[in-house]
Structure 1
Amino acid sequence: MTGRLLGRGVIDDVADVAASCDTVVRACNAAVSVLHGHTGAAVDVLLLGPGQLSVVAFSGAWQAPAAVPSHYGVVGHVLATGRPAAIHDASVAYAGLHAGRPVGSVVCAPLSEPTDQPIGVVNIEFDHVVADPVQWATELAEVGRRLRHRIDELGGLPAESAAELLLRHTLGFAAAGSGAELAALVCRAAVELTGLGSATVLARRITPPGQPRTPLRTSAAHVAAGARDLPARVAELPPDVLSALVDAVCRHGASHTLGDPDSEDVRGFEPLVRAGVRTLLAFPVRATAFDPRLEVAMLVMDELEVRVEPSTVTVLELLTANAAECYERLETVHQLQSLAETDPLTGLRHLGPFTKRLARARVGRTALLVIDVDNFKQINDRLGHAEGDRVLVSLAAAMRACLREGDELFRVGGDEFVAVLDVPDAAEAVRVADRLVAAARETGGAVSAGVALRRPGEPADATLRRADLAMYTAKQDTQYAVCEAE
């Protein structure tokens, strides 16, 4: 390792070897080879892709992932500012990240002309601290400018392959947090993969014969820049027409590729033609393995006549199949989470979710109602636990039914419930408590309730204790079943 600055000769060598290469990747690897030969340090070139930097050339590094987030560390800073940067001692800046490995200075420069947005970075990681990392960064910036010039001559950033696009979107599906988010990601992926102008997902619940069909809804849509908003036109079609379209897609189970509607068989899809669709790929999305009551159809459309390659159609079918599997896993996780948070007897959420809700209690706006079933032990002793369970289920349903939107009732113990209310004042909380007590009486049961509104400077658990004490006061009062905390 020389520790010498690059100098004009090395910078010219990088430009010369890059000029002799016929692809972007080869040019980047050639530049890395020259820089590594001069410095003995780890050198890499990262090019900007959708949301990440891909490592396209490297001589070895402390850690060498295939890609990193485009906002990560010093490379993210260089991308954002368009200026080179240097870290004098990375063992201090990234303490613990490279434990047990020799770490020194890091210099990083953008692949850009002075007035351009960077398309990537060139990065040198030394295993020792260099004398003048700032000057290193200045010279590396000239390397980045020369390499960027050659990349532009070769046509710019390499196009993302179908396999790379498929992998990127598949990873995105796995990270989706909801069915709606997943559907939106699938639509975007379909448009990017096929090059068509728009995509939409239509979904409905299957209803038994003789019952009215549930409304069909547009779960998601994506429209490419400059394309006509065909999903909006499709969404405006009458419900019976949309249902017939879903039937045509889901019943036959095959994709339909229409290029020129005047020369293709478009039976069953005439409403789409009238809406302006000239090219269509239609797929049933197989989410039925998890939920047989669900029918989902995906439409990928364009207002232009486009012949989509059969191989692209096959990849898109694989993509939608993967999305269906991700949906099934997502629904399984949601069901398991719901089971973990829900009381199986009453269907109310229990102590864990209540604790989280309690932590969000607002001063002067959140009221807690602690509710206890009167004489519950005697019910169990005289009539049995099955009757006790029936009483709890009946009371829980009655009280939950008379809560307002946004309020929630939790079962936090054997016969103890807590309602969390958003109210303007304590008087409104007492009125809600009176309604709950009245609803309980209509079932033939009886409850006592204590009410407390969170005070300024009061911890939420202290508010809960005041409500609990008020509930015991109400139990001892033969006249009133509701007591407001002092």
Structure 2
Amino acid sequence: MYLPHGSAPDRDGGCTGSPADVAVRAYANALRHTLAMAAATDRAELTTRTLVAAREVADAAVAAVIEPDGDLRAEGDVDLVERFGALDADLRSRLCRAPAGPTDLLAGGAVTVPMSGGALIVAGHPRPAATQVLSLIAAHHVAGLDRLSQLDALRRFANSDPLTGLRHHRPFRRRLAKATPGRTAVIAIDVDNFKSINDEYGHGAGDTALVRLGNALQAALRCSDDLYRVGGDEFAVLVEVAGEPEALAIAERLLRAARSAGHPVSAGVALRRDDEDGPDTLRRADAALYVAKRAGRDTARMADRPA
């Protein structure tokens, strides 16, 4: 793979001055960029800021990041970006294993810096002395990925039930507040005779039942439907439907899925009205759920219909 020579403007005013002065300016420039990288809010933004930093401190025509999963993203000279995008998986892997510094794996004066299974690469007349500063940028990129990963884990923990992995009451309330009158239906679900499972077999068996049931209910829903665990043995589903018949049909499908998992449930269904808010719709769905319980369980009832 041949990467032709290119040029880019010297963004920090050129390399005039003593080598020490040049080094000080390079590190000061890198510090400015690493502060921007530390403020990135997602992986795409972090990678963009890493590429901008690498190009500028190395005065390179193009910069590329190869992630540990093999994904490659490059920015800069259009022709070089296209050539980087055409690198095959084998060459990407070899670049990630190459030592830091100028590399003969790419023609055209490329410099590579390995970083946690991936690599940061610049090409198109990069400054030969830029390797150390690029290593600093690469280290901050890896640290940024770790930070974003931890933030994602914290967000999932804050919004998900740790047992089933389903979203819990907090995101459910947010989604419920956005329910559309005449379109959004709430399906309240409660496991039948769940207390007997805990009493007879222990809470471990109850937890296993909830996980199995949650998986079965999720598999029975469409991609656009939202399932939540909102209490001990209580689940809720928010669906967009054309009317009450479709909402009730979805509830019946959930009943069948629960039976197949060995843990029957009862369900109450309510379609949001024009004159009510989300919590009011939920209260009507809960009332319909209790009607289903009194009707013998393992059944679904539509709100505001005769028992």
Tell me, yes or no, whether TM beats 0.5: yes
What does residue 75 of structure 2 align with? 222
**How much does 1:376 deviate?**
0.7
The 5-angstrom pairing of residues 204-215 of structure 1 reads 204-205=68-69
1:454 aligns with 2:272: yes
What does residue 91 of structure 2 align with? 245
Which residues of structure 2 form unaligned runs of 5+?
1-10, 12-23
Q: Determine if contact 2:111/2:126 at 8 Å carries over to the other structure.
A: no
**How much does 1:163 deviate?**
4.0
- Higher relative contact order (Cα pairs below 8 Å, separated by 6+ residues): 2
**Number of residue-to-residue matches in the alignment:** 282
How far, CA to CA, are the matches of 1:279 and 1:365 in structure 2?
Answer: 60
1:299 aligns with 2:145: no
Q: Determine if contact 1:198/1:229 at 8 Å carries over to the other structure.
A: no
How far, CA to CA, are the matches of 2:27 and 2:242 in structure 1?
Answer: 57
The 5-angstrom pairing of residues 453-472 of structure 1 reads 453-472=271-290
What does residue 114 of structure 2 align with? 284
1:179 aligns with 2:33: no
Instruction: Give the match's secondary structure for 1:193.
Output: helix
Q: Determine if contact 1:430/1:451 at 8 Å carries over to the other structure.
A: yes
**Letter paired with 2:210:** L
**How much does 1:479 deviate?**
8.1
The 5-angstrom pairing of residues 74-473 of structure 1 reads 161-205=25-69, 216-218=70-72, 220-223=73-76, 227-237=77-87, 241-242=88-89, 244-252=90-98, 254-258=99-103, 266=104, 269=105, 272-273=106-107, 278-286=108-116, 295-302=117-124, 306=125, 308-310=127-129, 312-473=130-291
**Letter paired with 1:236:** A
How far, CA to CA, are the matches of 1:431 and 1:197 in structure 2?
Answer: 59
Q: Determine if contact 1:249/1:255 at 8 Å carries over to the other structure.
A: no
Instruction: Give the match's secondary structure for 1:410.
Output: strand
What does residue 5 of structure 2 align with? none
Distance 1:169 1:398, change over 3 A: same
Distance 1:334 1:200, change over 3 A: same
Q: CA RMSD in A?
A: 2.3
Q: Determine if contact 1:197/1:228 at 8 Å carries over to the other structure.
A: no
**How much does 1:231 deviate?**
2.7
How far, CA to CA, are the matches of 1:166 and 1:447 in structure 2?
Answer: 59
Instruction: Give the match's secondary structure for 1:327.
Output: helix
Q: Determine if contact 1:372/1:447 at 8 Å carries over to the other structure.
A: yes
**How much does 1:331 deviate?**
1.1
How far, CA to CA, are the matches of 1:201 and 1:307 in structure 2?
Answer: 15
Q: Determine if contact 2:58/2:126 at 8 Å carries over to the other structure.
A: no
How far, CA to CA, are the matches of 2:40 and 2:297 in structure 1?
Answer: 54
The structure with more helix, counted as a fraction of residues? 2
**How much does 1:418 deviate?**
0.7
Kindly name which structure, 1 or 2, has the bigger radius of gyration based on alpha carbons.
1
Q: Give the TM-score normalised by the residue count of structure 2.
A: 0.84
Structure 1 stretch 185-194 or stretch 442-451: which is displaced more? 185-194
**How much does 1:485 deviate?**
1.6
**How much does 1:255 deviate?**
2.1
How far, CA to CA, are the matches of 2:153 and 2:237 in structure 1?
Answer: 24
What does residue 128 of structure 1 align with? none
Instruction: Give the match's secondary structure for 2:269.
Output: strand
Q: 1:284-313, CA deviations, whole angstroms, 9 ceiling, x for partnerless residues?
A: 223xxxxxxxx32222223xxx25131x22
Which aligned runs of 4 or more in structure 1 are off by greater than 6 angstroms? none
**How much does 1:361 deviate?**
2.0
**How much does 1:371 deviate?**
0.6
Q: Give the TM-score normalised by the residue count of structure 1.
A: 0.54
